Amino acid sequence: MSRVLVVGGGLRAAAAVSAHLAQGHTVTVVAEELVATLEDLADRGLVSWHARALVLDDVLESDVVVRLPDGQGTPAAEPTGVPRPQPGEVVLVGAGPGDPDLMTVGGQRALAQADVVVTDRLVPLAALDAVRADALVIDVAKVPGGRSTPQETINDLLVEHALAGRRVVRLKGGDPFVFGRGGEEALACAAAGVPVRVLPGVTSSVSAPALAGIPVTHRGTTQGFTVVSGHVPPGHPDCTVDWKALASTGTTLVVLMGVRTLPAIAEALVQGGLDPRTPAAVVADAGLPSQRRVDGTVATIADVVAESGIGAPAVTVVGHVVDVLS
């Protein structure tokens, strides 16, 4: 394990930081300002951050010093390379759950060809290493409780750059169409006459359980899995999920965006008739060095999570598949 000092607070620095964290190194970032993605890593204690007034000791004690530009890179004044038809295009790329190895080959190729990359928080930042040095990288991270970019602004950005003839990659965590708002972006592009392509990604709803040793289906145990959003709790006026029905599907249940609402969800499932002894697990930070899994039953899992201190992003799995490989 090495001590790595990254100089720069932009997205390219974020890419380098993620790559070094993934290799188990300790990372210190030196920059006046951090892009939201890096700020989030610093807030979560995964990197330490110092302003530029750095003591020489920190440099001398580091095994590796990496220097990267602040900010978001410079857009090519004119798109480079072979002439392209007007307008350009938008490629919605699913980047997988966090490990750059789980990006598709097509997604990496699209990134390498992009003039503009519009990226999210839950993407494998190390994958941004593939982006051309003259490409513009825009961070539209939606940090919970922190900086966020309205969806409308993101749609406008995609359309504006594509209409200027650029190849735009919209890099999204997991799969673009699984709670990713990719459909809204595709509609906005279509309305503006911008061609859109979709490169599906490895969704966390399947890969987070898999990376933690839980198959979402298993012969003889379950014949299916149901993926739902736990963003709004059962009983909330905006909730359209029939939790009572889910309690009796006999399929594995996978809940995304449901850490905060887990107590209410678990209760609704038990109230709906699910055996309280049904195994349940929560997998957080899947595909990242900080990946964690905790186990319980549907009756205990909310307390187990609260005691363990693990938080979003996390996927909850309910069903007998949880134990099948243990």
For residue 313, cis peptide bond before it (omega within 30 degrees of 0): yes
73 or 287: CB nearest ligand SAH:
287
Q: Could you tell me the smallest distance in angstroms from the CB atom of residue 258 to ligand SAH?
A: 7
**Among residues 139, 175, 185, 295, the one that binds ligand SAH under rule CB under 6 A:** 175
DSSP structure class, residue 103:
S
Q: 């970019």: which residue's tokens?
A: 149
209 binds ligand SAH (CB under 6 A): no
Quick one: which segment of 2-10, 18-26, 136-144, 169-177 binds ligand SAH (CB under 6 A)?
169-177
Answer for which of 192, 257, 299, 304 binds ligand SAH (CB under 6 A) is 257
Q: How many residues of this chain interact with ligand SAH, rule: CB under 6 A?
A: 25
| Catalytic (active-site) positions | 120, 142, 257
Among positions 8, 73, 100, 174, the unique one binding ligand SAH when judged by CB under 6 A:
174
Distance CA 180, CA 285 (A): 17
Report residue 147 as tokens.
Answer: 């900086």
- d(C-alpha 226, C-alpha 317), whole Å: 10
Q: Which whole-number Å values give the CA distances from 81 to 18, 84, 134, 281, 313, in the listed order?
A: 29, 9, 12, 49, 38
143 lies in the site for ligand SAH, by CB under 6 A: no
Range 187-206, binding ligand SAH (CB under 6 A): 203-205
Cβ 260 to ligand SAH, closest distance in Å? 10
Binding pattern to ligand SAH, positions 90-129, x when CB under 6 A? -------xx-----------------------x-------
Q: Counting runs of H as helices and runs of E as strands, what totals does the chain give? A: 11, 14
Sequence-separated (6 or more) residues with CB below 8 Å from residue 35: 9, 10, 11, 13, 14, 72, 139, 141
CA gap 275, 184 in Å, rounded:
38
**SS3 state at 92:** strand
- Are the CB atoms for 90 and 199 separated by under 8 Å? no
For ligand SAH, give the closer residue by CB, 107 or 287.
Answer: 287
Candidates 40-48, 188-196, 233-241, 279-287 — which segment interacts with ligand SAH by CB under 6 A? Answer: 279-287
Q: Minimum Å distance from CB 308 to ligand SAH?
A: 14
Binding site for ligand SAH (CB under 6 A): 97-98, 122, 173-175, 178-180, 203-205, 208, 256-257, 283-288, 312-315
